[in-house]
Amino acid sequence: MSHYGFNRPSGIGQYRSELKVDLDFWYNPTINNFEKIILALDELNVDTNDLKKLVFDSKRTFLKIPHEDFHTDFLPRMEGLTSFRESKKKSENVDIGGVSVEVISLDDLILNKRAVNRKTDQSDIDELDKIRKRKNRGKGI
Q: Tens digits of per-residue pLDDT, 56-107?
A: 998 889 998 988 888 899 999 999 998 888 999 999 999 989 999 999 999 9
Burial class (CB in 10 A: 0-12, 13-18, 19+), 128: buried
Q: What pLDDT, in 10s, does the model give residues 10-56? A: 654 444 455 467 889 999 999 999 999 999 999 999 999 999 999 99
What is the rounded distance in angstroms from the CA atom of residue 55 to the CA atom of residue 68?
A: 27
pTM: 0.77
Positive or negative: CA dihedral 114, 118, 121, 126? positive
The band of 1, judged by pLDDT with boundaries at 50, 70 and 90, is: confident
| Domain boundary assignment for the chain | 1-77, 80-141
